Amino acid sequence: MRPYIRGMVQADLRTNGRTETQGPILCGQSLVRVTSYNIRKAVGLDWRRDSGRIVDVLAEIDADVVVLQESDKRVGKRSGVLPEERLQHELGYRLVDVSTRPHSHGWHGNAILYRPNRLSLDKAKRIDLPTVEPRGAVAAVFAAPGLEVIGVHLALMRSVRARQMQRLGQYLATASHPIIVAGDFNAWAKEGHRAALGKGCEMILPGNSFHASRPVAALDRFVLKGAVMHAASHVHVSALASRASDHLPIVIDLDLSGDPQ
| Whole-number pLDDT of residue 74 | 78
- Asked if residue 213 has pLDDT above 80, the reply is yes
Q: What is the DSSP letter of 244?
A: H
Q: Which domain holds residue 201?
A: 32-255
pLDDT tens per residue across span 18-70: 434 343 333 334 789 999 999 999 999 999 999 999 999 999 999 999 999 99
Asked whether the whole model's pTM tops 0.85, one would answer yes
Residue 19 within a domain: no
Task: Let me know if residue 118 belongs to a domain.
Answer: yes
User: Alpha-carbon distance 104 to 220, whole Å?
Assistant: 23
**d(Cα 151, Cα 181) in Å, to the nearest integer?**
6
Q: Supply the pLDDT for residue 259.
A: 55
Bridge-based pairing state of the strands 18-22 and 201-204? unpaired
The answer to whether residue 20 is domain-embedded is no
The answer to the question of residue 21 being in a domain is: no
239 and 132 in contact (C-beta within 8 Å)? Answer: no
Percent of the chain with pLDDT over 70: 87
Does residue 260 belong to any structural domain of this protein? no
- How large is the average pLDDT for residues 62-85? 93
Q: What is the pLDDT of residue 260?
A: 52
What total of structural domains would you count in the chain?
A: 1
Examine the pLDDT at 150 and tell me if it is beyond 80: yes
Q: How many angstroms separate the CA atoms of 82 and 88, rounded?
A: 11
The Cβ-side half-sphere exposure at 249, using a 13 Å CA radius, reads 31
The whole-angstrom separation of Cα 18 and Cα 211 is 13
- Alpha-carbon distance 167 to 147, whole Å? 20
Q: 153-162 pLDDT, tens per residue? A: 999 999 999 9
Q: Do residues 83 and 53 lie in contact, with contact meaning Cβ atoms separated by under 8 Å? A: no
pLDDT in tens, 97-119: 999 898 999 999 999 999 999 99
Q: What is the CATH number of the domain that holds 239?
A: 3.60.10.10
Kindly state whether residue 116 falls inside one of the protein's structural domains. yes
Q: Look at residue 89 and tell me if it is in a domain.
A: yes
DSSP 165: H
In-domain check, residue 22: no
Q: How confident is the model at residue 166 (pLDDT cuts 50, 70, 90)?
A: very high
Q: Name residue 126's amino acid.
A: R
- Specify the higher pLDDT residue, 136 or 167: 167
